[in-house]
Chains A and B, each alone.
Chain A
Amino acid sequence: MEDAFGLSSEFVGLRNFTDVLEDPEYVSTVLFTLFFSVMVTLFSLSLALLLAVQVNEVLTGAGVYKTFLMWAYAIAPPAAGLVGSLLFSPLMGDLYNGINALGFDFNHTRDGSDAIFVVVLISVWKQLSINFIFFLSGLQGIPASVQEAARIDCPGSIKRFWTVTFPLLAPTTFFLLVINTTYAFFETFGVIDLTTRGGPAGSTTTLVYKIYQDGFLGADLGGSAAQSVILMLFVICLTIIQFRYVDKKVHY
């Protein structure tokens, strides 16, 4: 089935795939990618939702808030990565010394979990804007009559949010889940490349980063191509989930 793209001089059948899947490094990469995308999605979605709800409720200054909260959409991931890594960098020292003064032994260039923390933080920061935009559009799409009725039936604002508003945002939320997962898989390449290069010791290597490392730095084209195919299958699964869901959404 798989076209070898004229790359492999010798046909090895499925050996590339078995090699990849049996490689413990690959397994840990898969696990990290999953963990990473869950963290990024969870935090950026919840923070964006919080901010969008607030902007939707305030009367003064909503426009200003909106502009400032959405500008980061346009920043390139590597730019965010560079600034972020310099903020935490031992070379610049400010945040680095601050965190260590609190008693942490923090160094994202040496310690795996610190590196993960920094990469997640920058990725969440970068992704906040787009989630914010979608949540706000979703909130503004809720008909005024529904909001009025909810206000009368349910005076407590927090309870009202969870029983009325949030269910109405369900389509937006699900859609954003898919988008954010894709983002964590693919778009974070630039952030990771500029903050940790997948290190220390592979602790922040995502699937895409590994394809790049193996194929273009390690010159293992076969293994890298096999990984690409596995990644593609994953994306297809995601898309199928998304489409089944969109079909359901039509009933709204």
Chain B
Amino acid sequence: MSKPWTRTVIRHGILIMGTLIMVLPLWIALMSSTHTPETLFKEGLQFFPGGHGWETYKAIIGGNDDLSTPAWRMLLNSLVLGLGFAIGKIIISTIAAYALVYFRFPLATPLFWMIFATLLLPLEVRIIPSYEVVAQLELLNSYAGLIVPLIASATGTFFFRQFYRSVPGELMEAARMDGAGPVRFFIDILLPLSSTILAAIFIIMFVVGWNQYLWPLLMTTDTDYYTVVIGIRQMFQTINEGGDLPQFNIAFGLTILATIPPVLVVVIFQRMFIKGLVETEK
């Protein structure tokens, strides 16, 4: 048995180390983005502010030679993708789950298993057919083509199905006695009941949508539809191709811009986010 206080010191030591490891890369990226490319090229990574942050971020958001698209446009695309993905997924999964739990209709079981099968097909597995379908529909380089194929999976449906099953049946009977139809019951009773869950899933889906990479990479050949994450890749290629002076500050700054929105969402709604994450996954 060691003394309690030494144990506490060791615990905090481990935690501080862990925290540093998690935060330092972001810190270095943030600090390095406030230096000129010349400084970065000569002296390497920076740990302290360099005073050129304003210029860097103005150049990134407004657009510069090394960026195919100004960052405001890419951020907007990412926002559309994140929100579209989250909203679409929630609409589809709540309605599907409602049908599965509250209605008896022919083929319900096979339909359920069909939905279930989509769980086994992450987008990476069905990437070629998905791409082909979207290309044939001439939806390449469009928001619809970007969002719709990503929504097609059952992760949310399962979760809402479980949640609706936990809602007591008496509620529905009471609603019927009061003369509420199925739509009315869904909108006025079921959705408000699931508000915390809805919010939690929304947060998670937004982050997942914002960070999508492989699909937008294949879909968007038109730079106007680049998301921030794709912008990072394009920037990185520019750096690796050499040329004159690599714009490290732009690369770091763009990474910071791509990271801030989802991180803020997760940190601000920490409680909801954790609840949603732990509940949905199980």
Contacts and interface: CB of A to CB of B under 8 A. Distances in A.
A74 B132 contact: no
B207 interface: yes
Contact of A54 (B14, B131, B207): B14
18 contacts: A61-B15, A65-B15, A74-B265, A75-B211, A75-B262, A76-B211, A76-B213, A79-B232, A79-B255, A82-B235, A83-B28, A92-B45, A129-B22, A134-B278, A156-B1, A175-B282, A216-B131, A228-B126
A71 interface: yes
A200 interface: no
A84 B132 contact: no
A86 B248 contact: yes
Interface size class of B (residues with CB under 8 A): 35 or more
A94 B44 contact: yes
Interface of A: 3, 5-7, 47, 50-51, 54-55, 57-58, 61, 65-80, 82-87, 91-94, 125, 128-130, 133-134, 137, 155-157, 175, 179, 182, 186, 189-190, 193-194, 208, 211-212, 215-216, 221, 224-225, 228, 231-232, 235-236, 239
B251 interface: yes
Contacts of A224: 128
B229 A76 contact: yes
A224 B128 CA distance: 8
Contacts of A235: 120-122, 125
A5 B128 contact: yes
A86 B1 CA distance: 45
A228 B125 contact: yes
Q: Which of B22, B125, B235, B258 has the most CB of A within 10 A?
A: B125
Contact of B124 (A69, A82, A189): A189
A133 B280 CA distance: 13
Contacts of A65: 15, 18-19
A79 B235 CA distance: 11
A50 B14 contact: yes
Interface in B45-89: 45
Contacts of B281: 134, 175, 179
B214 interface: yes
B270 interface: yes
Contacts of B207: 73-74
Interface stretch (B5-13, B167-175, B184-192): B5-13
B264 to A, nearest CB: 8
A200 to B, nearest CB: 13
B108 interface: no
A147 B266 CA distance: 30
Question: Which 10 A-B residue pairs are closest in the complex by CB-CB distance?
Answer: A74-B262, A76-B211, A190-B213, A74-B266, A94-B44, A74-B263, A5-B129, A68-B19, A137-B278, A93-B44
A222 B44 CA distance: 45
Contact of B236 (A128, A137, A194): A194
